[in-house]
A and B are shown apart, each in its own frame.
Chain A
Amino acid sequence: MRSKSFPVICLITTISIVLILAVLLNLSGLTTYGVNELTGLAKLFVLNIPDPTKPWSSHAFEIVTAILWDQRGFDTYFETSVLFLAIVASVALLSSYGRRHMPESTGDEYTTMIVKVITKLVVPIIAVVSASIAIHGHLTPGGGFQGGSVFVVAPVLILLAYGSRFLSSRGFNEVRLLAIRALSVTLIFVVGLVPVLYFLTHGTAYLFQNTYKPDSAFTYPYLIPTPIGMILTAGSIMIYNILEFFAVAAGFTLAILLLTREFERGGKK
Protein backbone atom coordinates (compact mmCIF):
# COMPACT_ATOMS: atom_id res chain seq x y z
CA MET A 1 0.00 0.00 0.00
CA ARG A 2 1.11 3.54 -0.75
CA SER A 3 1.42 5.86 2.23
CA LYS A 4 0.30 9.49 2.41
CA SER A 5 3.89 10.75 2.11
CA PHE A 6 4.50 8.93 -1.21
CA PRO A 7 4.02 12.04 -3.46
CA VAL A 8 6.31 14.13 -1.23
CA ILE A 9 9.07 11.51 -1.38
CA CYS A 10 8.67 11.33 -5.17
CA LEU A 11 8.88 15.12 -5.47
CA ILE A 12 12.04 15.37 -3.36
CA THR A 13 13.69 12.50 -5.26
CA THR A 14 12.92 13.88 -8.72
CA ILE A 15 14.03 17.40 -7.84
CA SER A 16 17.33 16.13 -6.43
CA ILE A 17 17.89 13.92 -9.52
CA VAL A 18 17.33 16.87 -11.85
CA LEU A 19 19.54 19.19 -9.78
CA ILE A 20 22.38 16.64 -9.82
CA LEU A 21 21.89 16.33 -13.60
CA ALA A 22 22.07 20.12 -13.97
CA VAL A 23 25.28 20.38 -11.91
CA LEU A 24 26.90 17.54 -13.87
CA LEU A 25 25.96 19.15 -17.20
CA ASN A 26 27.36 22.48 -16.05
CA LEU A 27 30.63 20.96 -14.75
CA SER A 28 31.30 19.08 -17.98
CA GLY A 29 30.93 22.33 -19.93
CA LEU A 30 28.17 21.08 -22.17
CA THR A 31 25.48 23.63 -21.40
CA THR A 32 27.57 26.52 -20.11
CA TYR A 33 26.79 29.65 -22.05
CA GLY A 34 29.86 31.21 -23.62
CA VAL A 35 31.23 28.45 -25.83
CA ASN A 36 31.92 29.66 -29.33
CA GLU A 37 34.36 27.02 -30.53
CA LEU A 38 33.35 23.70 -32.00
CA THR A 39 34.72 20.58 -30.32
CA GLY A 40 37.64 18.82 -32.01
CA LEU A 41 35.45 16.02 -33.28
CA ALA A 42 32.92 18.45 -34.80
CA LYS A 43 35.75 20.43 -36.45
CA LEU A 44 37.11 17.22 -37.98
CA PHE A 45 33.68 16.36 -39.40
CA VAL A 46 32.91 19.86 -40.71
CA LEU A 47 36.34 20.26 -42.36
CA ASN A 48 36.52 16.80 -43.93
CA ILE A 49 33.03 15.76 -45.06
CA PRO A 50 32.20 18.39 -47.73
CA ASP A 51 35.79 18.82 -49.04
CA PRO A 52 36.56 16.38 -51.91
CA THR A 53 40.32 17.11 -51.70
CA LYS A 54 40.52 15.66 -48.15
CA PRO A 55 41.21 11.90 -47.78
CA TRP A 56 38.27 11.32 -45.38
CA SER A 57 35.68 13.16 -47.47
CA SER A 58 32.14 11.81 -47.96
CA HIS A 59 31.37 14.07 -50.96
CA ALA A 60 28.15 15.19 -49.25
CA PHE A 61 26.82 18.65 -48.40
CA GLU A 62 24.76 17.56 -45.40
CA ILE A 63 27.08 16.83 -42.49
CA VAL A 64 24.52 15.17 -40.16
CA THR A 65 23.42 12.55 -42.71
CA ALA A 66 27.03 11.95 -43.79
CA ILE A 67 28.09 11.22 -40.19
CA LEU A 68 25.01 9.02 -39.76
CA TRP A 69 25.65 6.75 -42.78
CA ASP A 70 29.37 7.09 -43.48
CA GLN A 71 31.37 7.86 -40.35
CA ARG A 72 29.18 5.70 -38.08
CA GLY A 73 27.22 3.64 -40.60
CA PHE A 74 27.65 0.34 -38.76
CA ASP A 75 26.14 1.87 -35.60
CA THR A 76 23.19 3.25 -37.58
CA TYR A 77 22.57 -0.17 -39.11
CA PHE A 78 22.07 -1.64 -35.65
CA GLU A 79 19.83 1.27 -34.65
CA THR A 80 17.70 0.40 -37.67
CA SER A 81 17.63 -3.17 -36.38
CA VAL A 82 16.41 -1.99 -32.97
CA LEU A 83 13.58 -0.16 -34.74
CA PHE A 84 12.83 -3.33 -36.72
CA LEU A 85 12.69 -5.45 -33.56
CA ALA A 86 10.35 -3.00 -31.80
CA ILE A 87 8.00 -3.13 -34.81
CA VAL A 88 8.21 -6.94 -34.92
CA ALA A 89 7.38 -7.14 -31.21
CA SER A 90 4.32 -4.91 -31.70
CA VAL A 91 3.20 -7.00 -34.67
CA ALA A 92 3.62 -10.20 -32.68
CA LEU A 93 1.33 -8.82 -29.97
CA LEU A 94 -1.21 -7.26 -32.33
CA SER A 95 -1.27 -9.72 -35.21
CA SER A 96 -4.73 -10.71 -36.33
CA TYR A 97 -3.85 -14.11 -37.79
CA GLY A 98 -6.59 -16.61 -36.99
CA ARG A 99 -9.33 -14.02 -36.85
CA ARG A 100 -9.37 -12.91 -40.45
CA HIS A 101 -13.15 -12.60 -40.74
CA MET A 102 -13.22 -9.63 -38.45
CA PRO A 103 -15.32 -6.77 -39.91
CA GLU A 104 -13.18 -3.83 -40.98
CA SER A 105 -14.47 -0.31 -40.68
CA THR A 106 -14.91 2.08 -43.60
CA GLY A 107 -14.61 5.06 -41.28
CA ASP A 108 -18.15 6.30 -41.95
CA GLU A 109 -19.11 6.09 -38.29
CA TYR A 110 -16.67 8.68 -37.04
CA THR A 111 -15.63 11.01 -39.89
CA THR A 112 -17.39 13.59 -42.02
CA MET A 113 -17.11 14.70 -45.63
CA ILE A 114 -14.74 17.56 -44.68
CA VAL A 115 -12.12 15.21 -43.23
CA LYS A 116 -12.32 12.87 -46.23
CA VAL A 117 -11.90 15.63 -48.86
CA ILE A 118 -9.04 17.32 -46.99
CA THR A 119 -7.31 13.93 -46.63
CA LYS A 120 -7.63 13.34 -50.37
CA LEU A 121 -5.97 16.71 -51.04
CA VAL A 122 -3.21 16.49 -48.45
CA VAL A 123 -2.01 12.88 -48.79
CA PRO A 124 -0.28 13.27 -52.22
CA ILE A 125 1.50 16.42 -50.99
CA ILE A 126 2.80 14.58 -47.91
CA ALA A 127 4.03 11.67 -50.04
CA VAL A 128 5.92 13.93 -52.46
CA VAL A 129 7.45 16.08 -49.71
CA SER A 130 8.63 13.03 -47.76
CA ALA A 131 10.19 11.45 -50.88
CA SER A 132 11.96 14.75 -51.58
CA ILE A 133 13.30 14.91 -48.01
CA ALA A 134 14.68 11.38 -48.34
CA ILE A 135 16.18 11.70 -51.85
CA HIS A 136 17.86 15.05 -51.12
CA GLY A 137 19.12 13.78 -47.76
CA HIS A 138 22.79 14.37 -48.65
CA LEU A 139 22.15 17.92 -49.94
CA THR A 140 19.56 19.60 -47.70
CA PRO A 141 18.42 18.97 -44.09
CA GLY A 142 16.69 15.60 -43.97
CA GLY A 143 17.38 11.97 -44.77
CA GLY A 144 15.83 8.54 -44.68
CA PHE A 145 14.67 8.58 -41.05
CA GLN A 146 13.13 12.04 -41.37
CA GLY A 147 11.47 11.36 -44.73
CA GLY A 148 10.00 8.08 -43.50
CA SER A 149 8.64 9.71 -40.34
CA VAL A 150 7.00 12.46 -42.43
CA PHE A 151 5.49 9.88 -44.78
CA VAL A 152 3.77 8.04 -41.90
CA VAL A 153 1.42 11.03 -41.44
CA ALA A 154 -0.30 10.07 -44.74
CA PRO A 155 -1.38 6.53 -43.65
CA VAL A 156 -2.52 7.95 -40.29
CA LEU A 157 -4.79 10.44 -42.08
CA ILE A 158 -6.13 7.73 -44.45
CA LEU A 159 -6.81 5.34 -41.56
CA LEU A 160 -8.65 8.00 -39.57
CA ALA A 161 -10.72 9.22 -42.52
CA TYR A 162 -11.46 6.02 -44.45
CA GLY A 163 -10.89 3.20 -41.94
CA SER A 164 -8.50 0.30 -42.15
CA ARG A 165 -10.28 -1.46 -45.04
CA PHE A 166 -9.19 1.30 -47.44
CA LEU A 167 -5.50 0.43 -47.01
CA SER A 168 -5.94 -3.35 -46.79
CA SER A 169 -8.02 -3.55 -49.97
CA ARG A 170 -5.35 -1.66 -51.94
CA GLY A 171 -2.53 -4.07 -51.23
CA PHE A 172 -1.13 -2.49 -48.06
CA ASN A 173 -1.71 -5.59 -45.95
CA GLU A 174 0.50 -6.57 -43.04
CA VAL A 175 2.36 -9.35 -44.86
CA ARG A 176 3.44 -7.06 -47.68
CA LEU A 177 4.40 -4.18 -45.36
CA LEU A 178 6.48 -6.47 -43.16
CA ALA A 179 8.16 -7.85 -46.30
CA ILE A 180 9.09 -4.33 -47.47
CA ARG A 181 10.44 -3.57 -44.00
CA ALA A 182 12.57 -6.73 -43.79
CA LEU A 183 13.79 -6.40 -47.40
CA SER A 184 14.94 -2.79 -46.81
CA VAL A 185 16.92 -3.68 -43.67
CA THR A 186 18.52 -6.63 -45.48
CA LEU A 187 19.44 -4.48 -48.51
CA ILE A 188 21.04 -1.86 -46.22
CA PHE A 189 23.28 -4.58 -44.82
CA VAL A 190 24.05 -5.95 -48.32
CA VAL A 191 25.09 -2.46 -49.51
CA GLY A 192 27.34 -2.23 -46.44
CA LEU A 193 28.75 -5.70 -47.14
CA VAL A 194 29.86 -4.99 -50.76
CA PRO A 195 33.24 -3.50 -49.61
CA VAL A 196 33.93 -6.78 -47.77
CA LEU A 197 33.52 -8.72 -51.04
CA TYR A 198 35.98 -6.28 -52.61
CA PHE A 199 38.36 -6.93 -49.69
CA LEU A 200 38.16 -10.69 -50.27
CA THR A 201 38.93 -10.43 -54.00
CA HIS A 202 40.98 -7.25 -54.66
CA GLY A 203 42.49 -5.30 -51.78
CA THR A 204 41.88 -3.36 -48.58
CA ALA A 205 38.35 -2.13 -47.92
CA TYR A 206 36.26 -1.57 -44.79
CA LEU A 207 32.77 -2.62 -43.71
CA PHE A 208 30.20 0.13 -44.55
CA GLN A 209 32.85 2.04 -46.52
CA ASN A 210 31.50 4.88 -48.65
CA THR A 211 34.12 6.49 -50.91
CA TYR A 212 37.88 5.96 -51.30
CA LYS A 213 40.19 6.18 -48.30
CA PRO A 214 43.98 6.80 -48.22
CA ASP A 215 44.76 3.06 -48.04
CA SER A 216 41.74 1.74 -49.93
CA ALA A 217 40.80 2.26 -53.56
CA PHE A 218 37.25 0.92 -53.16
CA THR A 219 34.60 3.56 -53.80
CA TYR A 220 30.92 3.79 -54.58
CA PRO A 221 30.36 6.18 -57.53
CA TYR A 222 29.63 9.61 -56.06
CA LEU A 223 29.18 11.55 -59.33
CA ILE A 224 27.20 9.68 -61.99
CA PRO A 225 27.22 11.07 -65.56
CA THR A 226 23.71 11.20 -67.08
CA PRO A 227 22.23 13.03 -70.12
CA ILE A 228 21.03 15.88 -67.86
CA GLY A 229 24.39 16.39 -66.15
CA MET A 230 26.46 14.93 -63.35
CA ILE A 231 24.17 13.54 -60.61
CA LEU A 232 25.60 13.69 -57.07
CA THR A 233 24.80 10.54 -55.05
CA ALA A 234 27.50 10.98 -52.36
CA GLY A 235 28.54 7.34 -52.68
CA SER A 236 26.23 4.98 -50.85
CA ILE A 237 24.55 7.69 -48.72
CA MET A 238 21.72 8.22 -51.25
CA ILE A 239 21.08 4.45 -51.49
CA TYR A 240 20.97 4.13 -47.69
CA ASN A 241 18.61 7.12 -47.43
CA ILE A 242 16.12 5.67 -49.94
CA LEU A 243 16.21 2.19 -48.36
CA GLU A 244 15.83 3.67 -44.86
CA PHE A 245 12.89 5.75 -46.12
CA PHE A 246 11.08 2.58 -47.22
CA ALA A 247 12.01 0.77 -44.01
CA VAL A 248 10.73 3.47 -41.63
CA ALA A 249 7.62 4.24 -43.71
CA ALA A 250 6.58 0.57 -44.06
CA GLY A 251 7.35 -0.25 -40.41
CA PHE A 252 5.31 2.55 -38.90
CA THR A 253 2.47 2.14 -41.41
CA LEU A 254 2.26 -1.50 -40.33
CA ALA A 255 2.22 -0.66 -36.61
CA ILE A 256 -0.40 2.06 -37.05
CA LEU A 257 -2.56 -0.17 -39.30
CA LEU A 258 -2.65 -2.90 -36.65
CA LEU A 259 -3.31 -0.40 -33.82
CA THR A 260 -6.19 1.13 -35.82
CA ARG A 261 -7.73 -2.31 -36.35
CA GLU A 262 -7.65 -2.97 -32.61
CA PHE A 263 -9.18 0.46 -32.07
CA GLU A 264 -11.99 -0.33 -34.52
CA ARG A 265 -12.74 -3.62 -32.76
CA GLY A 266 -13.34 -1.65 -29.57
CA GLY A 267 -13.28 -3.34 -26.18
CA LYS A 268 -14.35 -6.76 -27.55
CA LYS A 269 -12.05 -9.67 -26.69
Chain B
Amino acid sequence: MISLDGLLWYYIVVAILFTITCALYGIATRPHIIKKLVLLTIISDAVYVLLVLMGYRIGATNPPVVPGGVLENPVFPSHKTIVEFMHRVVDPVPQVLIVTAIVIGLAQFVFLVTISMHLAKSTGSFDIRRIEGEKE
Protein backbone atom coordinates (compact mmCIF):
# COMPACT_ATOMS: atom_id res chain seq x y z
CA MET B 1 0.00 0.00 0.00
CA ILE B 2 1.49 3.29 -1.11
CA SER B 3 1.13 6.26 1.21
CA LEU B 4 -0.17 9.72 0.38
CA ASP B 5 3.39 10.99 0.66
CA GLY B 6 4.52 8.48 -1.98
CA LEU B 7 1.61 9.32 -4.30
CA LEU B 8 2.52 13.00 -4.05
CA TRP B 9 6.14 12.11 -4.83
CA TYR B 10 5.24 10.21 -8.01
CA TYR B 11 2.77 12.96 -9.01
CA ILE B 12 5.58 15.57 -8.81
CA VAL B 13 8.01 13.38 -10.81
CA VAL B 14 5.39 12.77 -13.54
CA ALA B 15 4.55 16.48 -13.64
CA ILE B 16 8.22 17.42 -14.08
CA LEU B 17 8.73 14.84 -16.83
CA PHE B 18 5.58 16.10 -18.58
CA THR B 19 6.92 19.66 -18.40
CA ILE B 20 10.23 18.53 -19.90
CA THR B 21 8.38 16.71 -22.73
CA CYS B 22 6.26 19.75 -23.57
CA ALA B 23 9.27 22.06 -23.51
CA LEU B 24 11.39 19.76 -25.71
CA TYR B 25 8.54 19.42 -28.20
CA GLY B 26 8.09 23.19 -28.26
CA ILE B 27 11.80 23.87 -28.81
CA ALA B 28 11.76 21.47 -31.78
CA THR B 29 8.60 22.72 -33.48
CA ARG B 30 8.02 26.42 -32.65
CA PRO B 31 9.55 28.69 -35.28
CA HIS B 32 9.76 31.84 -33.13
CA ILE B 33 13.14 32.41 -31.44
CA ILE B 34 11.73 34.14 -28.32
CA LYS B 35 9.35 31.21 -27.80
CA LYS B 36 12.32 28.86 -28.06
CA LEU B 37 14.18 30.87 -25.38
CA VAL B 38 11.17 30.86 -23.03
CA LEU B 39 10.85 27.08 -23.46
CA LEU B 40 14.59 26.71 -22.81
CA THR B 41 14.21 28.44 -19.41
CA ILE B 42 11.19 26.24 -18.64
CA ILE B 43 13.14 23.04 -19.38
CA SER B 44 16.16 24.14 -17.32
CA ASP B 45 13.97 25.10 -14.35
CA ALA B 46 12.20 21.72 -14.56
CA VAL B 47 15.59 19.99 -14.41
CA TYR B 48 16.61 22.08 -11.37
CA VAL B 49 13.41 21.07 -9.56
CA LEU B 50 14.06 17.42 -10.47
CA LEU B 51 17.57 17.67 -9.00
CA VAL B 52 16.31 19.24 -5.76
CA LEU B 53 13.67 16.51 -5.56
CA MET B 54 16.40 13.84 -5.81
CA GLY B 55 17.84 15.14 -2.54
CA TYR B 56 14.63 14.52 -0.61
CA ARG B 57 14.60 11.84 2.09
CA ILE B 58 11.56 10.35 3.87
CA GLY B 59 10.88 12.26 7.05
CA ALA B 60 13.42 14.96 6.30
CA THR B 61 12.34 18.22 7.91
CA ASN B 62 15.50 20.36 7.77
CA PRO B 63 17.37 22.13 5.00
CA PRO B 64 21.11 21.35 5.10
CA VAL B 65 21.79 24.19 7.55
CA VAL B 66 22.75 23.43 11.14
CA PRO B 67 20.40 25.46 13.38
CA GLY B 68 21.84 28.05 15.74
CA GLY B 69 24.29 29.81 13.44
CA VAL B 70 25.00 33.38 14.60
CA LEU B 71 27.72 35.81 13.57
CA GLU B 72 28.81 36.83 17.10
CA ASN B 73 30.00 34.31 19.71
CA PRO B 74 28.83 31.17 17.88
CA VAL B 75 28.47 27.89 19.75
CA PHE B 76 29.47 24.98 17.52
CA PRO B 77 27.19 21.93 17.74
CA SER B 78 28.42 18.79 19.53
CA HIS B 79 28.94 15.48 17.73
CA LYS B 80 25.73 14.06 19.26
CA THR B 81 23.66 17.02 17.97
CA ILE B 82 25.10 16.61 14.48
CA VAL B 83 24.37 12.86 14.34
CA GLU B 84 20.80 13.57 15.45
CA PHE B 85 20.61 16.38 12.85
CA MET B 86 21.89 14.01 10.13
CA HIS B 87 18.78 11.82 10.40
CA ARG B 88 16.36 14.64 9.55
CA VAL B 89 18.25 16.56 6.86
CA VAL B 90 17.87 16.49 3.06
CA ASP B 91 20.79 15.65 0.78
CA PRO B 92 22.98 18.76 0.28
CA VAL B 93 24.92 17.51 -2.79
CA PRO B 94 22.23 18.10 -5.50
CA GLN B 95 21.60 21.58 -4.08
CA VAL B 96 25.31 22.40 -4.45
CA LEU B 97 25.12 21.30 -8.09
CA ILE B 98 22.25 23.63 -8.98
CA VAL B 99 23.43 26.76 -7.12
CA THR B 100 26.03 27.53 -9.77
CA ALA B 101 23.94 26.00 -12.57
CA ILE B 102 21.21 28.60 -12.04
CA VAL B 103 23.58 31.57 -12.24
CA ILE B 104 25.47 30.19 -15.25
CA GLY B 105 22.14 29.39 -16.93
CA LEU B 106 21.11 33.02 -16.42
CA ALA B 107 24.39 34.25 -17.95
CA GLN B 108 23.98 31.98 -20.96
CA PHE B 109 20.41 33.21 -21.33
CA VAL B 110 21.65 36.81 -21.45
CA PHE B 111 24.13 35.76 -24.16
CA LEU B 112 21.41 33.98 -26.18
CA VAL B 113 19.09 37.00 -25.93
CA THR B 114 21.93 39.21 -27.19
CA ILE B 115 22.57 36.96 -30.19
CA SER B 116 18.83 36.76 -31.01
CA MET B 117 18.55 40.55 -30.84
CA HIS B 118 21.41 40.98 -33.31
CA LEU B 119 19.85 38.33 -35.57
CA ALA B 120 16.51 40.11 -35.50
CA LYS B 121 18.14 43.47 -36.24
CA SER B 122 20.09 42.16 -39.23
CA THR B 123 17.32 40.02 -40.75
CA GLY B 124 14.27 41.94 -39.58
CA SER B 125 12.50 38.92 -38.13
CA PHE B 126 12.43 36.50 -35.18
CA ASP B 127 10.87 33.77 -37.32
CA ILE B 128 13.27 30.90 -38.11
CA ARG B 129 11.40 30.07 -41.35
CA ARG B 130 11.70 33.65 -42.59
CA ILE B 131 15.39 33.84 -41.62
CA GLU B 132 16.11 30.59 -43.49
CA GLY B 133 14.22 31.89 -46.52
CA GLU B 134 11.58 29.17 -46.54
CA LYS B 135 8.70 31.61 -46.21
CA GLU B 136 8.15 35.14 -47.41
A interface with B by C-beta (< 8 Å):
1-2, 6-7, 10-11, 13-15, 17-18, 21-22, 30-31, 33-39, 41-43, 45-47, 50-53, 59, 61-64, 67-68, 72, 76, 79, 82-83, 86-87, 89-90, 93-94, 136, 138-141, 143, 145-146, 148-149, 223, 228-232, 248, 251-252, 255-256, 259, 262, 267, 269
Interface of A is mostly: helix
| A residues less than 8 Å from B13 (CB atoms) | 22, 31
User: Roughly how many angstroms separate A79 CA and B20 CA in the complex, as a whole number?
Assistant: 25
Choose among B25, B93, B96, B134 the residue that contacts A11 (Cβ–Cβ < 8 A). Answer: B25
**Residues of B1-36 whose CB lies within 8 A of A:** 5-6, 9-10, 13, 17, 20-21, 24-25, 28-29
A249 vs B25: C-alpha distance in the bound complex, in angstroms? 34
Inter-chain CB contacts under 8 Å: number = 176
A-B contact pairs, 6 of them (CB 8 A): A31-B54, A51-B76, A139-B69, A139-B70, A141-B63, A223-B74
> Taking A1-B134, A39-B91 as contacts, is the C-beta distance between A83 and B103 under 8 angstroms?
yes
Chain A min CB distance to B104 (Å): 6
Interface residues on B, range: 35 or more
Q: Please, which residue of chain B has its CB at the minimum distance from the CB of A16? A: B21
Most buried by B among A46, A141, A252: A46
Known contacts: A43-B86, A83-B103, A262-B117. The answer to whether A67 contacts B76 by CB under 8 A is no
- Min C-beta distance of A203 to chain B, whole Å: 26
Which A residues are CB-close (under 8 A) to B104?
79, 82-83, 86
Chain B residues whose C-beta falls within 8 Å of the C-beta of A94 in the assembled complex: 114
A252 pairs with B65, CB closer than 8 A: no
Of all chain B residues, the one with the shortest Cβ separation from A54 is B79
Are A52 and B76 neighbours in the complex by a CB distance under 8 Å?
yes
Residues B76 and A46 in contact, CB atoms below 8 Å apart: no
Tell me if A61 and B65 are in contact (CB < 8 A).
yes
Which chain B residues lie closer than 8 Å to A68 at the CB level? 96, 99-100
